[in-house]
Amino acid sequence: MTLTPEQQAEIQEARAETRPTLRVTSEGMEKRLYVAHEVLDHGLVRVIDYMGDDNAITQAARVSYGKGTKHVTNDEGLIRYLMRHWHSTPFEMCEVKFHVKLPVFVARQWIRHRTANVNEYSARYSILDREFYIPAPEHLAAQSTVNNQGRGELLQGEEAQRVLDILRDDATRAYDHYEDMLSQDGQKGLARELARMNLPANVYTQWYWKVDLHNLFHFLRLRADTHAQYEIRAYAEVMCDIVRDWVPLAYGAFEDYRMGGVNLSGKGVEALKRRLAGEVVTQENSGMSKGEWREFEGVWG
C-alpha cells in the first residue's frame, strides 16, 4: 500500500495539531494516533481516537477518585486478577476507534463480531477505487484435506501462476465493467448502488470501527490466533502491536491468560490429574471425543 502525497500530508497535519486536555492520555497511544500501518497489499489500520489507559481499568475496578496509596505493581496485580477471573466491565472503560481499509471478503468475516460500532464507506454515494487484494505467492494455498475452513499445501509453479492470473484478470474485468456501467459519456449510466453489485469480493472497502477493550481482546484472541485466516490475522497482529503500546499492563495479562493460556474441560482436568498420578490415560478411557482428545494431546502431549 502506498499513501498518496495528499493522504500523507493530511496525516502529518493531524499529528502536528496538539490540544491541551485534562483527559487521561497514553504516551504509547499518542505516538500511534493517525499513523497508517500498512496491511496486505493495499490495506491499512490507523487509530483515529481512543479513551482511557491501564489506570482507567483499575480505577473502574476500585471505583475510586484518586490514586491513593496504590503502586504500579498493585495495578498490574489487579489487572491480572481481573483477566484471570474473566471480569469484563473494567476493560470496557477503555475504547478505541480505528480506520481500517480491507478487502470486502475480510470485512464480511470481521463484521461477525457484532460488539462494535461500524460505519463503512458507501458505494451508493461514492465510487470504489480500483484496488483488489491479490495474495502473495507464499499465501496461495490449496484447500486443506483435514480442515474445511483452512488451507493446505502451497500451490506451486504453473498452477500458482494460473490462479493468480485468474484472480487478477477477473478483478480487472469486473472493475472495467463497473466503470463502464457508471459511464456518463452522453448517457445516464447505471445507479452506483446497482453497479457495485458486480464488483468482486477482493475489492477494498474502508470503515471506522469503534470498540471497547474487552470486546477488542475477544476479537484479537480469535483473529490473531495462528488458526485464523491469514488475511484477517494480518490486521489483528498490527492491532495487537497498537494495543500493547496503549495499555501495556492489560495487554500483558491478555497475552498471558488468553493468547498463551489453555482452557480445560472437566474431563480434561480429570485426565491431567490421572496422568500426574502415574495412570495411563487414553482417548478410550478419558471420556473425551476424538476431537477433544486430539486437542488435549496437542497441548499436553
Cell of 76: 498490574
Alpha-carbon dihedral sign for residues 168, 174, 177, 182: negative
Fold of 5-133+202-259: Gyrase A; domain 2 (3.30.1360)
120 is in an annotated binding site: yes
Please tell me whether 57 is known to bind a ligand: no
Query: Quick one: average pLDDT of 7-25?
Result: 86
Predicted local confidence at residue 119, as pLDDT: 95
The model's pLDDT over 30-70, given as tens digits with 9 standing for 90+, comes to: 999 999 999 999 999 999 999 999 999 999 998 865 555 45
DSSP string covering 91-135: GGG-EEEEEEEEEHHHHHHHTT--SSEEEEPPTTTSPPPS-B---
- Residues taking part in catalysis: 223
Mean pLDDT of 75-94: 94
Mean pLDDT calculated for residue range 149-163: 81
Rounded CA-CA distance 253/81 in Å is 9
64 marked among binding-site residues: no
For position 20, what pLDDT does the model report? 87
Q: Is 111 annotated as a binding residue?
A: yes
Backbone angles phi, psi at 208, to 5 degrees: -100, 130
Q: Which residue has the higher pLDDT, 10 or 31?
A: 31
- The residues near 118 (Cβ < 8 Å, ≥ 6 apart) are 111, 207, 208, 209, 210
The predicted model gives 86-100 an average pLDDT of: 96
Q: Which three cell numbers mark 299?
A: 497441548
pLDDT digits (tens, 9 = 90+) for 213-242: 999 999 999 999 988 999 999 999 999 999
Which of 257, 219, 262 has its CA nearest to residue 249?
257
- DSSP for residue 193: H
Q: Per the annotation, does 139 bind a ligand?
A: no
126 is in an annotated binding site: no
Cβ within 8 Å of residue 262, ≥6 positions away: 299
Q: For 275-280, what is the mean pLDDT?
A: 92
CB neighbourhood size of 162 (10 A): 11
Write the burial class of residue 192 (CB in 10 Å: 0-12 exposed, 13-18 middle, 19+ buried). Answer: middle
Query: What pLDDT is attached to residue 102?
Result: 97
Residues above pLDDT 70, as percent of the chain = 92
Radius of gyration (Cα) for the chain, nearest Å?
24
Q: Each residue of 41-50: b (16+ CB within 10 Å) or e?
A: ebbbbbbeeb
The Cα angle at residue 269 between residues 263 and 271, in degrees rounded to 5: 125
Does the annotation flag 124 for ligand binding? yes
Q: Dig out the grid coordinates for 113 from the structure.
A: 463480531
Is there a binding annotation on residue 112?
Answer: yes
pLDDT at residue 263 in the model? 87
